[in-house]
A = this chain, B = another copy of it.
Amino acid sequence: MNNSTATLLVSCPDQKGLVAKIADFIYSYGGNIIHADQHTDFQQGLFLTRLEWQLEGFNLPREVIDPAFGAIAKPLNATWQLHFSDTIPRLAIWVTKQDHCLLDLLWRWQAKELTVDIPLIMSNHAKLKPIAEQFGIDFHHVPITQETKLEQEAKQLELLEKYQIDLVVLAKYMQILSADFVSKFPQIINIHHSFLPAFPGANPYQRAYERGVKIIGATAHYVTANLDEGPIIEQDVVRISHRDTVQDLIRKGKDLERLVLARAVRFHLQNRVLVYGNRTVVFA
């Protein structure tokens, strides 16, 4: 039996009958909905929904679903994404020297917590190459300096194209991407080691220590042209005390970073995240 599912993520101006219209579309072709969730932002007058249904028994050929739904969606001024669970997305992980987020993602991938292909690890340092080799993943060392940044970004874009990458995860990649790069490849998730909007930019643990906060956090967000200001997907925190040094904050923070990034990547890969403005709806 075919366990594959289709998922629609839809946003449109709010109006009467949206739930009924979209559910009718699926039902009329015999689809069995296994997840449906929606949210209305009344302030913005925006309706957002996620519907997932089984392809087994669905009478519309796969390649016709998108145009057929488009005939319903366009009069509603809707934007939508259609995903099939058996089309496995391709992920590139970018790192610098720290391995904790990288290893955590790879373990989860091996444990089948993440349904994804990971054909490419990219780094501005050579240090983590052995991990790539251990997991049988291509590793590309693309060093970056102030002077070479633009040409190296061109090289990075080539790699993303060559490996047909759908999503880049910055798993402690300690370089800032140019606005130009982000506009050309906008599907990027970053983990920032603070509870944003507190402590954006460099050295958040040092600054958290100096400010004397009692709780630290980590934030996974989509990357935009403005550093650490993209739409937040997931955050979490951990309590600290006066006994914790900056090194303790870094150690405790690593555990947060691993968990928060993994949750955000999983939500994205399961097509549970809808961005609107600078906000996300996570249909968890």
Q: Which of B17, B39, B103, B243 contacts A243 (CB 8 A)?
A: B39
Identify which of A119-127, A159-167, A232-240 touches chain B.
Answer: A232-240
Q: Which residues of B contact A33 (CB under 8 A)?
A: 16, 18-19
Report chain B residues within 8 Å CB of A42. 34, 245
Q: Closest 9 interchain pairs by CB?
A: A212-B279, A20-B23, A20-B27, A198-B198, A19-B23, A17-B27, A242-B281, A214-B235, A20-B24
23 residue pairs A–B, Cβ–Cβ below 8 Å: A18-B33, A19-B33, A20-B24, A20-B27, A20-B28, A21-B27, A37-B37, A41-B242, A134-B134, A195-B198, A196-B198, A196-B211, A196-B213, A197-B211, A197-B213, A198-B198, A212-B231, A212-B232, A215-B217, A215-B236, A242-B281, A242-B282, A243-B284
Interface residues of A, CB < 8 Å — how many?
Answer: 66
Q: Is there contact, CB below 8 Å, between A34 and B40?
A: yes
Name the residue of chain B whose CB is nearest to the CB of A26: B20
| Interface SS majority for chain A | mixed
Q: Are A214 and B243 in contact (CB under 8 A)?
A: no
Taken together as a complex, chains A and B put the C-alpha atoms of A217 and B237 apart, in Å, by 11
C-alpha gap A270/B247 in the complex (Å): 16
Copies in the complex: 4
Please measure, in the bound complex, the distance between the C-alpha atom of A274 and the C-alpha atom of B59, giving whole angstroms: 33
B16 contacts A27, CB within 8 Å? yes
Residues on A lying within 8 angstroms of B by beta carbon are 16-21, 23-24, 26-28, 30-43, 99-100, 103, 107, 111, 113, 134, 195-199, 210-215, 217, 231-237, 239, 241-243, 245, 251, 255, 259, 277-282, 284
Question: Do residues A213 and B242 form an inter-chain contact, with CB atoms below 8 A?
Answer: no
Q: Select from chain B the residue with minimum beta-carbon distance to A32.
A: B16
Given contacts A19-B27, A196-B198, A215-B236, 13 further A-B contacts (CB under 8 A): A16-B27, A16-B32, A18-B33, A20-B28, A36-B38, A37-B38, A41-B242, A43-B245, A134-B134, A195-B215, A212-B278, A214-B232, A242-B281
Q: Give the residue name and chain of the B residue nearest to A53 (CB).
A: B16
**Chain B residue, CB-CB nearest to A24:** B20
Q: Which residues of B contact A212 (CB under 8 A)?
A: 231-232, 277-280
Which residues of the other chain, B, contact A241 by a CB distance below 8 angstroms?
282
Chain B residues with CB under 8 Å of A100's CB are 107, 111
| A20 to B53 Cα, complex, angstroms | 13
Report the nearest B residue to A263, measured CB to CB.
Answer: B255
A220 to chain B, nearest CB (A): 9
